[in-house]
Amino acid sequence: MSETLQKVIGETLQKPQALLTGEWALFLDIDGTLLEHAEHPDAVSVSDELRSLLQGLDLKLNGAVAFITGRSVAAVDQLFQPLKLRAAGLYGLEHRLLPDDDVEVADEPADIAALADEIEAELGRGAYIERKGRVLAIHTRAAPHLLPRATQLVEQALAVLPKGYRVVPGNAGVELLPLEAAKGAAIRRFMDIAPFAGRRPVFLGDDTSDENGFEAVNDAGGISIRVKPPAHTTAQYGLAGVAETLAWLRGQL
């Protein structure tokens, strides 16, 4: 274990009680943080152990736990069923502020179906095009050589998309997001309401798209934790991988 990581984990573990008191709000990325990456987005599965860990944390923190994910809330529910938590999906284009509430969706999607079709036709079967309304994910895990071309295609598409669309590197792929899709804003939205308001936010994530969330919790005096941290991250702390993240979370129960 690197010295930095040791220090980071040591610091975090020095205050476990603090995480257990009512002062914390916990925000969780899913893929690469709670779940190991799989070859295809539909190939991941959630263990009963993970479900009960999350349920336990939710109880412990009086409901101040939310998924902050690039997946849609419907996809998250499907994955974690029967567990339902508060959630922001599609990088904050969707919010479910209470576990049993309806999902609030930001404005009607721009029609990017035609663009998705064009990219799919150009890249062929090696790439998987995930259509998420206003968000488009191009997965190249099964054909890494397609990533540069996929990135080029989505960058070119910016010229014809509504203002504010941007390209964000994914994990073994690339995503095209509208302006309002940002994890930091999603976290701030929760922090304005009960039971999150007045607590210190903790956010765990593993991707470039999570950096915006780290900035938001840093600004709010919270704790940002990047799983498998790269050299450059705005996160204050790091955890080595999914297994270590789950162990750390179990330690907070």
Ligand X SMILES: O=P(O)(O)OC[C@H]1O[C@H](O[C@H]2O[C@H](CO)[C@@H](O)[C@H](O)[C@H]2O)[C@H](O)[C@@H](O)[C@@H]1O
Structure tokens at 155: 């960058």
Which of 95, 96, 139, 188 touches ligand X (CB under 6 A)?
Answer: 139
Tell whether residue 161 is a contact of ligand X (CB under 6 A). no
Tell whether residue 142 is a contact of ligand X (CB under 6 A). no
Phi, psi of 203 (to 5 degrees): -125, 130
Cα 23 to Cα 55, 72, 86: the distances in Å are: 18, 28, 18
Q: Which stretch binds ligand X (CB under 6 A): 110-118, 133-141, 158-166, 239-247?
A: 133-141
Contact track, ligand X, 112-131, x by CB under 6 A: ------------------x-
Considering beta carbons, is residue 20 or 208 the nearer one to ligand X?
A: 208
Is 29 one of the catalytic residues? yes
Structure tokens at 203: 């956010």
Provide CB contacts within 8 A for 49, sequence distance 6+.
Answer: none
Contact track, ligand X, 72-111, x by CB under 6 A: ----------------------------------------
Separation of alpha carbons 132 and 41, rounded Å: 12
**Strand 223-227 versus strand 237-239 pairing type:** parallel
Tell whether residue 171 is a contact of ligand X (CB under 6 A). yes
Active centre residues (catalytic):
29
